[in-house]
Amino acid sequence: MSDRPSSALAQPLRPPSAGRVVACLGLFLLGAVVGVAGALVQPAWFPGGLLLALAGVAGLVLGATRALRSRAGGVWAAGGWMLVVVLLTASRPEGDFMFAAGGGSYLFLLGGITVAVICATLAPRRQPDGPPVRLGK
């Protein structure tokens, strides 16, 4: 046997706690709410509404990663946002739709996805039994 601590990959998987599951589902629903709010705000006051909607997505995802101290929080929040926004882009048989075919709508869709991915990957990583990982000083 070696005296080195075992790798985190060698540890058995444990199911998440009930509190963590509830927090992830809550962040998913919060992401859906922010998606609906952004869809309503972004066309109303262009370009300020677009910037406000994108700032809301960034704040949500960054806050979720900080709240759960992992990227999982940001992924759940971004997933709720993305699901709602994609569902709102679909036109209905009656001809109703939420997004018009314009530059602001495409910027909201693509910009929101980009902002969510960037913010979700900015979460600090933790070593298995150590402080947060930092590259450089």
- pLDDT digit string, tens, across residues 25-41: 999 999 999 999 998 88
- Per-residue pLDDT for 127 more than 70? no
Amino acid letter for position 34: V
User: Helices 71-89 and 103-121 meet at what angle, rounded to 10?
Assistant: 160
Q: How many CA atoms lie within 13 A of 133 on its CB side?
A: 10
| Residue with the larger pLDDT of the pair 1 and 70 | 70
- Per-residue pLDDT for 133 more than 80? no
- pLDDT digit string, tens, across residues 73-83: 899 999 999 99
What is d(CA 98, CA 80) in angstroms, rounded to the nearest whole number? 17
What does pTM read for this prediction?
A: 0.76
For residues 60-72, give the mean pLDDT: 88
% of the chain beyond a pLDDT of 90: 32
